[in-house]
Amino acid sequence: MTNAESSSSLYLEDLSVVDRLCWHWHDSSRIDECMQFLAKRSADIAGAENAAVFLTDETTGKLKLRAVAGAMEADKELLKGYVKQVIASKEAHAVVDGTLVLTLAADGAVQGAIVVPLTGKVSEESIKSLALLAERAALAISRAQQCQEVIKRLNIIESLLEISEAAIEDAGLSRAFRMVAERAASAVRAELTAVGLIDWNTKELHYIESFGELADRITGSRTPITEGLRRLVSKSGEPVIINDVASDGRIPEAVINKWGIRSLLIVPLRIRKKVTGVLLAANRHGGPFAIRDLRLFEAIAHHGSAAIAHAELHFSAQKTITELDSEKSKIEAVLAQLGDGVVVCDADGVIIMMNEAAEKIVGLPTSAVIGKKIFDMHPPHHRQEVEHIINQFEKSKPESGLFWEQNITLPGRKIVRINMRPVFNRSGQFTGTATVMHDVTAQVELDEIKAEFISVVAHELRTPLSALKGSLGLILGGAVGNVNPNLYELMKIAQNNCNRLIRLVDDMLDVAKIEAGYLRLEMDIISVQDRVMNAIRQMQHIADDYQIEIRTKVSGKPQPIIGDGDRIEQVMTNLLSNAIKFSPPGSAIDVTVRQLRGLIKVSVADQGPGIAPGEREMVFEKFYQGSIQSFSKEVGSGLGLAISKAIVEQHGGSIIVDSNSGKGSVFSFLLPVPAEDTKGAGSLSNKDQHTAQDGA
């Protein structure tokens, strides 16, 4: 493989990781993982020691440091200055005082920047690769944010509908007021919200309902209307944000001291242009409110006013319908701008909204699918699965984070990645689904070409390497006579490197099979204990060479499983090889085999340097070497753990790592045990895996 081909393959991997991580924009841990990956890969591509990623905070609009690779010694504010300078110049990338800055910009907006302090000259090819990576990352971030905004708007619409319904229903004003306070708190993430009605006779605000901190003390209480507050809630008053109430002067000091508030958001409640009360939100410990919070608050306040105007139900209902139509139009406008397809369904799976990108992907106009079941848009063999997924969504809770993601093949060999998520209203009730569709046909085809290329190259390399290995073995074995000691050592080095190349070729073939989806297992009834001991015997001479003791402990009666014995040995050999590479001379490696409920757990514990917390999940990524590579006795390919993970998961099991810097690492894999008749390996649920891990 040429350098260009290798660079291209790695670049495709980079884009794939960025797309996959940004897909989960609702999950802050995955965002941090994505930003950390961008920082590290940027440093690697530039050949630099350090890199950082800054993102623009959606609330404050300020740059915030989100990830650092290496030991960033430069001043954070200095780097921010570089970023602001490049953003102001409207350049995609530039070098400022020896620091490369690449803006993350998409859809006319700047999300942040990647900053790389350069330690030497960077090639034009590397800068081009970095610019493409930044461009793709910015686009992925923008699309993910837009999709989340769509879901958020759908939830807000559901809240507004519920408030309107509460006002129309003859169920008393208390329920409507309580719902307004609850939905308002959720919309702007306030620690406290309250609905207050004005008593002009006593010049007081009477708090009818409240939600959040101190709600028990606030509901039913009264506070005097000061002159400053009178101006706010007068006929001509406007909504305001007060992010420093102590210095503002319009809020009574007694209220500030009693509630302990720092920031305040107040919106008048009007009936026929007459102010009758206020809707307020306050934070005692949290951050300031933004203009976006004010707009959301105004919408909720408007619908809350309909509850106060209970005598004008018909008028308020008609007005609400008009405004909801307007909100729907706004959402449709947002959806139309998305590059990915979006399909929105109600709780029964009936399609109620679809954007233009989705039309192009499925090859059908919106008019042809609105009102039909989402199941009908999937291939026949997927329909039952989709129906089952929606049933699971209906039973789930918002905090469960449940979603369904899968590649499906549409007519014409079009391959589409489907990401379906449930939509809940503010009460936590399932109201439908939002599906994002991304055409990955080109990506899959590239992956297939890459896998085929690697497979061909690997096969072409294996034949001469096998011949070379055999020849070296014959020479070292004395087949051509005694070998000079000096030459013997050189031949031994050549043999070791030949074996290493053969292992690398085999790993590349396995990776190609995994990516192509045809890694086949030769399933049979096997003993995991026997396979573990075989692997130990194979690696014992290497451990002896490095003066490392391998200690074993097997507990419980051996239980047979359905599995591929050779592949299980391969997993064990990989774990032992890694443990030996990173273990200091004179130390020990502990191998344990345990019987758990329905599981067999195999663990390999070393006394090496350990793995930093931020790298634990990444060790199973292809070609990942990690920061502890300098401790290794030999350079690996970075493929062994990725292959091991794929093998274990194909057996219905899982592989985990427990490690702390300076305290060694424990790699464990868990395999399911069939229930008595040993006719199938079964599958390992998340619950079972957690139970096994907790009991270990």
- For 405-422, the pLDDT digits (tens) are 877 777 777 788 888 888
Cα 674 from chain centre: 33
Lowest-confidence region among 184-188, 302-306, 365-369:
302-306
The pLDDT of 530-551, averaged and rounded, is: 90
| pLDDT tens digits along 638-695 | 677 888 888 888 888 899 888 877 788 999 999 988 765 433 333 333 333 333 333 3
Bridge partners for 207 per DSSP? 196
Lookup result for tokens 């294996």: 462
Interior angle at CA 245, CA 239 and CA 246, nearest 5: 160
The pLDDT of 21-31, averaged and rounded, is: 56
pLDDT at 404: 82
pLDDT at 641: 84
pLDDT above 60 (res 627): no
The CA distances from residue 82 to 111, 118, 378, in Å, are 15, 13, 49
Compute the mean pLDDT over every residue in the chain, rounded to the nearest whole number: 76
Confidence label for 156 from pLDDT (cuts 50, 70 and 90):
low
Count of other CB atoms within 10 angstroms of residue 221: 16
Rounded to two decimals, the pTM is: 0.37
pLDDT at 458: 64
Confidence label for 342 from pLDDT (cuts 50, 70 and 90):
confident
Helix or strand run (H / E) with residue 207: strand 204-212
Q: Are strands 351-354 and 222-224 parallel, antiparallel or unpaired?
A: unpaired
Beta strands in 542-692 (DSSP E): 549-554, 560-563, 588-596, 599-605, 654-659, 665-672
Cα 409 from chain centre: 24
pLDDT above 50 (res 349): yes
Distance CA 64, CA 54 (A): 5
**What region, left, alpha or beta, does residue 676 occupy, with left being phi > 0 and alpha being psi -120 to 50 degrees?**
left
Helix or strand run (H / E) with residue 405: strand 404-410
pLDDT at 485: 78
The pLDDT of 590-613, averaged and rounded, is: 88
Confidence label for 336 from pLDDT (cuts 50, 70 and 90):
low
Residue 131 one-letter amino acid: A
Tokens linked to 8: 């291209």
The pLDDT of 48-76, averaged and rounded, is: 82
The pLDDT of 468-487, averaged and rounded, is: 75
Count of other CB atoms within 10 angstroms of residue 70: 16
Distance CA 99, CA 82 (A): 8
Q: 3-state class of 550 per DSSP?
A: strand
- The residue count for the chain: 696
| pLDDT tens digits along 364-380 | 888 888 888 887 777 77
Count of other CB atoms within 10 angstroms of residue 577: 20
Residue 245 one-letter amino acid: V
Lowest-confidence region among 49-58, 533-542, 611-620, 656-665:
611-620
**DSSP label at residue 350:** B
Distance CA 281, CA 214 (A): 12
Distance CA 72, CA 84 (A): 19
Confidence label for 289 from pLDDT (cuts 50, 70 and 90):
confident
| Of the ranges 87-101, 215-229, 612-626, 633-647, the best mean pLDDT one | 87-101
The CA distances from residue 423 to 156, 337, 396, in Å, are 11, 21, 11
**In the β-sheet with 222-224, what is the strand arrangement from edge to edge?**
222-224, 204-212, 192-199, 274-283, 263-271, 240-242
pLDDT at 675: 60
Counting DSSP H helices and E strands in the chain, the numbers are 20, 23
Confidence label for 65 from pLDDT (cuts 50, 70 and 90):
confident
- Give percent of the chain with pLDDT exceeding 70: 73
Rounded-to-5 percentages of helix, strand, coil across the chain: 50, 25, 25
pLDDT above 60 (res 391): yes
Distance CA 183, CA 185 (A): 5
CB-based contacts of 404, cutoff 8 Å, min separation 6 = 386, 389, 418, 419, 420, 421
pLDDT above 70 (res 312): no
Dihedral sign for Cα atoms in the order 64, 70, 76, 79: negative
Distance CA 571, CA 569 (A): 5
Cα 237 from chain centre: 44
Lowest-confidence region among 103-117, 413-427, 590-604:
413-427
pLDDT above 70 (res 14): no
pLDDT at 670: 92
The pLDDT of 497-506, averaged and rounded, is: 71
pLDDT at 516: 60
Bridge partners for 415 per DSSP? 409
Count of other CB atoms within 10 angstroms of residue 538: 14
- Give percent of the chain with pLDDT exceeding 90: 8
Note whether 564 and 524 are within 8 A (CB): yes
Cβ burial of 60 (10 Å; 0-12, 13-18, 19+) is exposed
Write phi, then psi, for 581 (nearest 5 degrees): -60, -35
Confidence label for 8 from pLDDT (cuts 50, 70 and 90):
very low
| Of the ranges 261-275, 414-428, 442-456, 587-601, the best mean pLDDT one | 587-601
Note whether 428 and 397 are within 8 A (CB): yes
pLDDT at 677: 40
Dihedral sign for Cα atoms in the order 204, 206, 210, 213: positive
Confidence label for 315 from pLDDT (cuts 50, 70 and 90):
very low
The pLDDT of 551-565, averaged and rounded, is: 86
Pick 430 or 691 by higher pLDDT: 430
pLDDT at 605: 92
pLDDT at 317: 46
Pick 260 or 325 by higher pLDDT: 260
Write phi, then psi, for 440 (nearest 5 degrees): -115, 20
Dihedral sign for Cα atoms in the order 627, 628, 631, 637: negative
Note whether 619 and 630 are within 8 A (CB): no
The pLDDT of 157-184, averaged and rounded, is: 63
Q: Are strands 341-346 and 51-56 parallel, antiparallel or unpaired?
A: unpaired
pLDDT above 60 (res 9): no
Distance CA 572, CA 641 (A): 10
pLDDT at 75: 80
pLDDT at 282: 87
Confidence label for 604 from pLDDT (cuts 50, 70 and 90):
very high
pLDDT above 50 (res 152): yes
Confidence label for 468 from pLDDT (cuts 50, 70 and 90):
confident
The pLDDT of 295-304, averaged and rounded, is: 75
Pick 164 or 363 by higher pLDDT: 363
pLDDT above 50 (res 392): yes
Pick 635 or 130 by higher pLDDT: 130
pLDDT above 60 (res 384): yes
Q: Are strands 665-672 and 599-605 parallel, antiparallel or unpaired?
A: antiparallel
* Residue of 236, 239, 250 whose CA lies nearest to 301: 239
pLDDT above 80 (res 513): no
Distance CA 205, CA 422 (A): 40
Confidence label for 1 from pLDDT (cuts 50, 70 and 90):
very low
